[in-house]
Amino acid sequence: MKVRVTDLINKSNKTAFSFEILPPLKGNDIQKVYKIIDKLVEFDPQYINITTHHSEYIYKEMPDGTILKTNIRKRPGTVAVAAAIQNKYNTVAIPHLICKGFTRAETEYALIDLNFLGVYNLLLLRGDANKLQPDQMKGDGNNYATDLQKQVNDFNTGISEDGTVFEKFETPFSYGMACYPEKHEEAPNIESDIRYMKMKQDNGAEYFVTQMFFDNSKYFSFVDRCRAEGITVPIIPGVKPIVLKNQLNVLPKIFRSDIPEELASELRKCKTDPEAREIGIEWGIKQCKELMQHGVPSIHFYSLMASESIRRIAKEVY
């Protein structure tokens, strides 16, 4: 599908709805993915993102007491999942391409496959580096999302990762990239993050999707700062409904997203996960209503474990 995300957002006469899914663990099949999507298609998703994950080490105790360390990929490839979704639902599928854990040659194979399959929209990211071990930090991989962006830009003009020029083989990949209203954990300050965002925009990022946040005021002031620095492309808010009580502490730790006291105090009162899930839904509705009143271009939902909550939020706000 050659339609671009920005065209979809612009042509949508209401705030566009989108969500992100993870390829299921190995051993499951595509029906598991379809079940999640089937719950949400009634809200007319304009596009569906599919995350990518590098391989991980697992440790297994052997009968003789030794520990076996193996490097495995826990989930099937995002390329195949994206193509299956796009074909079944006739909706734009956006595979995430990441730097970490992949060589540039592997990334090029993914681009060749995606071009072959007609999947032309991408989200370009560095990837989570926390769980990577030194031998998985492939020396011949991209380091930053901006390096991956250069590889995709080159590929679009027929230049291979080793610098050779293909026979006329122009690909039309368009893409968005990530941003962090509460600053990326490694950035020395928000100005530095915004400087790299501007670089991403100037080199072809057509929109940004934010890390999850729970406090809309942080998103609004971040967008104002970005606009002041010349970032003009859509900045799509990422919303994650809380579904577990322990996410009160886990999400700020993993994603560096603050939980406002108004929400935190309600979650602290919960005795069970189902109670926490109800609070997450209420908060999600309130958050989305306010974002929509501010005219955001689209709302992007993080759906891990939360597809039922998203369905209930979307039913209320769409």
Query: Which one of 82, 122, 178, 226 is in contact with ligand FAD (CB under 6 A)?
Result: 178
3-state secondary structure of 100: coil
Query: If binding is defined by CB under 6 A, does position 209 make contact with ligand FAD?
Result: yes
Tell the smallest beta-carbon distance from residue 77 to ligand FAD (Å).
12
Q: Using CA atoms, how far apart are residues 137 and 114, in angstroms rounded to an integer?
A: 24
Cβ proximity of 146 and 99 under 8 Å = no
3-state secondary structure of 174: strand
Question: Footprint of ligand FAD on residues 11-30 (CB under 6 A)?
Answer: none
Which one of the spans 35-43, 49-57, 263-271, 273-281 is the region binding ligand FAD (CB under 6 A)?
49-57
Residue closer to ligand FAD by CB (options 264, 304) is: 304
Residue closer to ligand FAD by CB (options 178, 279) is: 178
Cβ proximity of 90 and 5 under 8 Å = no
Query: If binding is defined by CB under 6 A, does position 96 make contact with ligand FAD?
Result: yes
Residue closer to ligand FAD by CB (options 4, 245) is: 4
Residue closer to ligand FAD by CB (options 120, 175) is: 175
Cα–Cα separations (whole angstroms), residue 303 to 19, 51, 309: 6, 11, 9
Question: Footprint of ligand FAD on residues 181-200 (CB under 6 A)?
Answer: 184, 186-187, 192-193, 196
Which one of the spans 6-14, 79-87, 126-134, 242-250 is the region binding ligand FAD (CB under 6 A)?
126-134
Half-sphere exposure of 6 (CA within 13 A, CB side): 13
3-state secondary structure of 216: helix
Query: If binding is defined by CB under 6 A, does position 239 make contact with ligand FAD?
Result: no
Q: Using CA atoms, how far apart are residues 117 and 111, in angstroms rounded to an integer?
A: 10
Helix (H) or strand (E) holding 311: helix 307-317
Residue closer to ligand FAD by CB (options 81, 285) is: 81
Helix (H) or strand (E) holding 152: helix 145-156
Tell the smallest beta-carbon distance from residue 265 to ligand FAD (Å).
27
Count of positions on this chain that bind ligand FAD (CB under 6 A)? 22
Looking at residue 164, the DSSP 8-state letter turns out to be P
Tell the smallest beta-carbon distance from residue 64 to ligand FAD (Å).
35
Phi/psi region, residue 44 (left: phi>0; alpha: psi -120 to 50; beta: rest), is left
Query: If binding is defined by CB under 6 A, does position 145 make contact with ligand FAD?
Result: yes
Query: If binding is defined by CB under 6 A, does position 140 make contact with ligand FAD?
Result: no
Query: If binding is defined by CB under 6 A, does position 144 make contact with ligand FAD?
Result: yes
- What DSSP string runs through 255-310? H-----HHHHHHHHH--SHHHHHHHHHHHHHHHHHHHHHTT-SEEEEE-TTTHHHH
Query: If binding is defined by CB under 6 A, does position 125 make contact with ligand FAD?
Result: yes
Tell the smallest beta-carbon distance from residue 126 to ligand FAD (Å).
3
Side chain identity at residue 303, one-letter code: S
Which one of the spans 47-55, 68-76, 110-118, 221-229 is the region binding ligand FAD (CB under 6 A)?
47-55
Which position has the token pair 């080159």? 154
The residues that touch ligand FAD, with contacts defined as CB under 6 A, are: 51-53, 96, 98, 125-128, 144-146, 178, 184, 186-187, 192-193, 196, 209, 211, 238
